[in-house]
């Protein structure tokens, strides 16, 4: 479910967020199409581009913003042309033409998935819980293929429960940030009495399993 946009300017909260991730300054990069490039395959796309056009891969973070809710940084690679200019060559699902990118020195892709950085844009329990859910599910299942179909038994049930709760909180946050609002599951109960305890329970479970 698409909730976030690629910001094309650098408001102070984006700059502050980037400063927590990297010592280099964030920049707005243009997207340029590149033959054979696929969405979500930035590392392969850049590797192929370097092989045919020269230049080099630069690693860092692409910034996404869910306006009023959170900012997120996704591990990303862009292409540095032989002339030294940076271009994003990975197509976006929403056809964004520019991205905010912050390079990180010394960072490379080692074949493993890397969790996003996330920061709440408001001080709100549901937003914080959503971020904790994302982090906990990555800690647990980060290297599992996203479909989760290889999992069995209890692991599969926990995985599905995480995914359901994340989706529920996304739906909840799309209509507001009040814990007194009706739960997005459709039960007719207030969120804080309906699914909030389930969120708390799975976070406690994952805390214990990580120890």
Of 21-29, 51-59, 138-146, 189-197, the window that binds Zn ion (rule: CB under 5 A) is 189-197
Q: How far apart are CA 129 and CA 127, in angstroms?
A: 5
Determine, following the binding rule CB under 5 A, whether residue 194 of this chain makes contact with Zn ion: yes
Size of the site for Zn ion (CB under 5 A): 5
Determine, following the binding rule CB under 5 A, whether residue 183 of this chain makes contact with Zn ion: yes
Determine, following the binding rule CB under 5 A, whether residue 202 of this chain makes contact with Zn ion: no
Shortest Cβ 198–Zn ion spacing (Å): 8
Report the Cα 17 to chain-centroid distance in Å.
14
Determine, following the binding rule CB under 5 A, whether residue 165 of this chain makes contact with Zn ion: no
21 or 194: CB nearest Zn ion: 194
80 or 172: CB nearest Zn ion: 172
Other Cβ atoms closer than 10 A to 193? 12
Token representation of residue 200? 């708390």
59, 104 contact by CB (below 8 A): yes
> Is residue 36 classed as helix, strand or coil in its secondary structure?
coil
Q: Which residue from 21, 185, 192, 205 is in contact with Zn ion, where contact means CB under 5 A?
A: 185
Return the half-sphere exposure (C-beta side, CA atoms, 13 A cut-off) of residue 15: 5
Q: Which residue from 187, 197, 204, 207 is in contact with Zn ion, where contact means CB under 5 A?
A: 187
106 or 186: CB nearest Zn ion: 186
Q: Which residue has the tokens 């599992």?
A: 144
Q: How far apart are CA 8 and CA 29, in angstroms?
A: 8
Shortest Cβ 123–Zn ion spacing (Å): 23
Give residues in contact with Zn ion (CB under 5 A). 183, 185, 187, 194-195
């Amino acid at each position: 479910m698409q909730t976030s946009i690629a910001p094309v300017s650098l408001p102070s909260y984006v700059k502050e967020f980037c400063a927590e991730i990297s010592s280099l300054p964030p920049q707005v990069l243009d997207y340029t199409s590149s033959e054979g490039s696929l969405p979500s395959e930035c590392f392969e796309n850049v590797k192929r581009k370097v092989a045919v056009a020269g230049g080099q891969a630069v690693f860092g973070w692409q910034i996404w913003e869910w306006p009023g809710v959170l900012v997120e940084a996704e591990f990303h690679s862009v292409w540095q042309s032989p002339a030294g200019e940076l271009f994003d060559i990975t197509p976006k699902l929403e056809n964004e033409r520019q991205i905010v990118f912050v390079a990180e020195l010394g960072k490379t892709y080692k074949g493993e998935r890397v969790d996003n950085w996330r920061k709440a844009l408001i001080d709100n329990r549901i937003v914080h819980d959503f971020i904790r859910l994302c982090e906990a599910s990555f800690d647990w299942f980060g290297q599992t293929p996203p479909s989760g179909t290889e999992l069995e038994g209890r692991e599969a049930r926990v995985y599905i429960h995480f995914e359901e709760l994340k989706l529920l909180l996304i739906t909840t946050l799309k209509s507001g940030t009040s814990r007194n609002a009706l739960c997005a599951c459709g039960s007719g109960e207030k969120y804080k009495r309906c699914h909030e305890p389930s969120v708390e329970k799975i976070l406690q479970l994952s805390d214990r399993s990580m120890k």
